[in-house]
Chains A and B, each alone.
Chain A
Amino acid sequence: MDSFLLEALVNGILLGGVFALPALGLNLVFGVVDVVWLCYAELVMVGMYAVWFLYTQAGWPLWMAFAACLPVVSLLGLLLHLFVVRPLLAAPPINQVLATGGVLFLLQGAMTLIFRTDFRSLGVDMPPMEVGEIFVSGTKLAAFCAALVGAALLWAFLKFTYVGTAIRAIARDREVMPLMGVDPQRIYLIASAVGGALAGLAACLLVVQLDVHPFVGLSFGPITFMICVMGGLGNMLGGFLAAFIMGIIVSVGGFWGTTEFSYVVAFAFFIVTIFARPRGLFAR
C-alpha cells in the first residue's frame, strides 16, 4: 500500500480514538437519562480552556492542568443535569433539546466574553515517530493511548461495579429500578458526572492537537453526533466502533482532498448509513 495512504489510515484510527470519548460520554448520558446533551462539544471546549488557562496563564504543570480538567468538566456535567436537565425530565423532548442547545450558546458566549475569540494554543508537541515507512505524530499517538485507557476504565466501571451494572440496567427499564433499591435520580446524577468526566478527558486530548477558541466545538461536535447516531443512540459499543469508522473516513478523505472535503465525505457516508440502517450500523 501507498505509504501516504497507510499514514492517513493510521491517523484515522488515532483520530477515531479521540472521537470515541465524546461519543461514549454522549451515549452514556443519553442511554441513562434519555436526554441528548446538545452542548456536549461545548463542555469539551470549556475543558480545553481550563487546561489552556491553568497551563499557560496560571503556570501549572501540564499534568496538573489535565488532572484538574476532569473534575471541572465533571462538575459542569453535574450542574447541567441538576439545573437544566432535571427540571425538564418530564417535558417533551423538544424542550430538552432547546434547553441544552441554549446552554451551547451560553457557553460559547461566556467563553467569548472571558477569553475573546482569539485562537489559543498550548504550544506543546511531541516529536513525530518513524514507524516503518510512515511518520506518526507522537502527540496523536499519546492522545490515542490515553483515549483507549479512558474507554477501558469506563468499560470496567460499567461491567464490574454495582453502579455500572445499574447504569446498564436502567438504560433498558427505568420503571422497575426502585424495586431493586435503585434511586433513578441518583443514577442520572452519576451518569452525568461520568459523562462530564469523559468530556474533560476528551478536552485534554484535543487541546494538544487543536487551538482552542469559543467555537472549536463545531470542529468535532457535529461529527460526534453523527458517530452516536451511526452507532445507534445509547449503544456504547456501536458508538465506539463508529468513531473509528468516522476517524478513518475523515482522515483518508482529507488525504485526497481538503479537510472540508473530508467532512463532506463523512457527512455523505452518515446520510447513506442512516437511510440504510436507521437504527444504527450495529442494530440487531
Chain B
Amino acid sequence: MSAALDRGAGTQAAPGGTLELSGIHAGYGDFQALFGIGLRVEPGEAVGVVGPNGAGKTTLLRVISGLIRPTAGSLRFGEQDLAATPAHLLPSLGIAHVPENRRLFPHLTVEENLKVGAFSPAARAHFAERRDRVYDLFPRMKQRRHQLAGTMSGGEQQMCAIGRALMCAPRILLLDEPSAGLAPIVVKQVFDLVRRIREEGLTVLIVEQNVAQVLRVVDRAYVLETGRVAAEGRSAELVADPAIRRSYLGGH
C-alpha cells in the first residue's frame, strides 16, 4: 500500500477483511427494495454494482454502511458483524461511503469538509497527515482548501467528497455513482482516480450507471435488477455476455 492511503500509525484495524453479504433483505418502511442479495468483496478487489435506475444499488450501499438496517440476512466485514454495529462506528472500522450526489457540506470550506470526515477519535489524531495525503492526491483541493465546497465545479466536489471519505483511512471505499452529472472529460478523470485508488491497494465497491466505463476499472461486477442479483461475473465475462451488451452497453 502506498503512502497516499496508508492507514497510518495508531489505527486499530488490521489490513484486509472480506465484505460479505448473504440473503440481504431491506427496504423503506413497508416498501421492500432488496430481496436476498448476496455479494462478496475480497481485500484489494475492485467490484462494481450496475443496473437500471431504481434497482436498489444505492439502497445496497446504505445497508452496508449502516444507514439502513437489513430486515433479514447477514452482513459481515472481516470478523465484524456489521448488522450489529452502529453506523457511526463503521468509519473507524475502515468502511468509508461516498454517498450518491456527493452530499458535501456546501457552506463549509474544503478543509472543513475534510475535518468532518476525520471526526472519529482515531482519525482526529491523524488529521494533518491524512489531509496532506489527500492534498497530494488532489492538488486542486489544496489550492481550494479555504473555498466553500458548494462553489466548486461538480468534478471538484466529487474529489472533495472522495477526499472526505479517505480521511478515516478506509480499508474499503464505497462509491455511489461518482460520475453522475459530470461532463465526459471529468467522468474520465473520476475513473482514472478510481483506478489510482485501487492500484494503491484500497478495496473499492463502486455503483455506476456508466456500465461501459466501470467495467474497465473493476475486476468483477454484479448486475442488480429490481432488488435482486440478475448476473455476476468477471468484467471480461460480463462485457462478452450478449444479454448484458444488449441491456447495458448499447451493443450488438
Residues of A within 8 A of B (CB): 162, 165-166, 168-169, 172-173, 175-184
Residue with the highest number of chain B CB atoms closer than 10 Å, among A176, A177, A182, A184 = A176
B residues near A169, Cβ cutoff 8 Å: 105, 108, 112, 116
Interface of A is mostly: helix
Give every chain B residue within 8 A of A182 (Cβ-Cβ): 88, 116, 119
CB <8 Å contact, A181 and B119: yes
On whether the beta carbons of B88 and A177 are closer than 8 Å, the reply is: yes
> What total of chain B residues lie within 8 Å of the partner, measured CB to CB?
30
A252 to chain B minimum Cβ distance, whole angstroms, is 34
Q: Mark B13-46, 1 if CB is under 8 A from A, else 0.
A: 0000000000000000000000000000000000
Known: A172-B107, A179-B99. A166 touches B116 (CB 8 A): yes
Q: How far is the CA of A179 from the CA of B123 in the complex (A)?
A: 13
A180-B86 in contact (CB<8A):
no
Q: Which residues of A sit under 8 angstroms from B228, Cβ to Cβ?
A: none
B86 touching A183, Cβ below 8 Å:
yes
With known contacts A165-B112, A172-B106, A181–B65 Cβ distance under 8 A: no
When distances are taken between beta carbons in the complex, the residues of chain B under 8 Å from A183 are 86, 88
Count of A-B contacts judged by CB separation below 8 Å: 65
With A180-B88, A180-B164, A183-B88 already in contact, 13 other A-B pairs whose C-beta atoms are closer than 8 Å: A162-B118, A168-B108, A169-B108, A172-B105, A173-B103, A178-B65, A179-B67, A179-B90, A180-B117, A181-B90, A181-B120, A181-B168, A184-B88
CA distance A196 to B140 in the complex (A): 41
Contact B88–A178 (Cβ < 8 Å): yes
User: Complex Cα distance A150/B107, Å?
Assistant: 24
Which chain B residues border A165 with CB–CB below 8 Å? 108, 112, 115-116
Given contacts A166-B119, A168-B105, A172-B107, contact A181 B112 (CB under 8 A): no
Chain B 86-108 residues near chain A, CB threshold 8 A: 86-92, 96-97, 99, 103, 105-108
Q: Which residues of A contact B108 (CB under 8 A)?
A: 165, 168-169
Q: Is B126 an interface residue (CB 8 A)?
A: no
The 6 A-B residue pairs whose C-beta atoms are closest, nearest first, are: A181-B120, A178-B87, A181-B91, A183-B88, A178-B88, A169-B105
How distant is B170 from chain A, measured CB to nearest CB, in Å?
11
Cα–Cα distance between A178 and B67 once the two chains are bound (Å)? 8
Q: What does the 1/0 interface line of B170-203 toward A look like (CB < 8 Å)?
A: 0000000000000000000000000000000000
- Contacting residue for A179 out of B86, B91, B124, CB 8 A: B91
- Most A CB atoms within 10 A — which of B86, B105, B107, B118? B105
Residue of B nearest to A184 (CB): B88
Is B48 in contact with chain A by the CB < 8 A criterion? no
B166 to chain A, nearest CB (A): 12
Judge if B155 is at the interface, Cβ distance under 8 Å: no
B66 CB–A CB distance under 8 Å: yes
Cross-chain pairs A/B with CB under 8 angstroms, 6 sampled: A162-B124, A168-B108, A172-B106, A176-B99, A179-B67, A179-B91
A166 to B105, CA, bound (A): 10
**Alpha-carbon separation in the docked complex, A172 to B148 (Å):** 14
| A-side contacts of B88, CB under 8 Å | 177-178, 180-184
Of all chain B residues, the one with the shortest Cβ separation from A159 is B112
Q: Is the CB of A179 within 8 A of B106?
A: no
Q: Which residues of A contact B67 (CB under 8 A)?
A: 175, 178-179
A182–B117 Cα gap in the complex (Å)?
Answer: 9
CA distance A177 to B87 in the complex (A): 9
Q: Which of B143-176 contact A (CB under 8 A)?
A: 164-165, 168
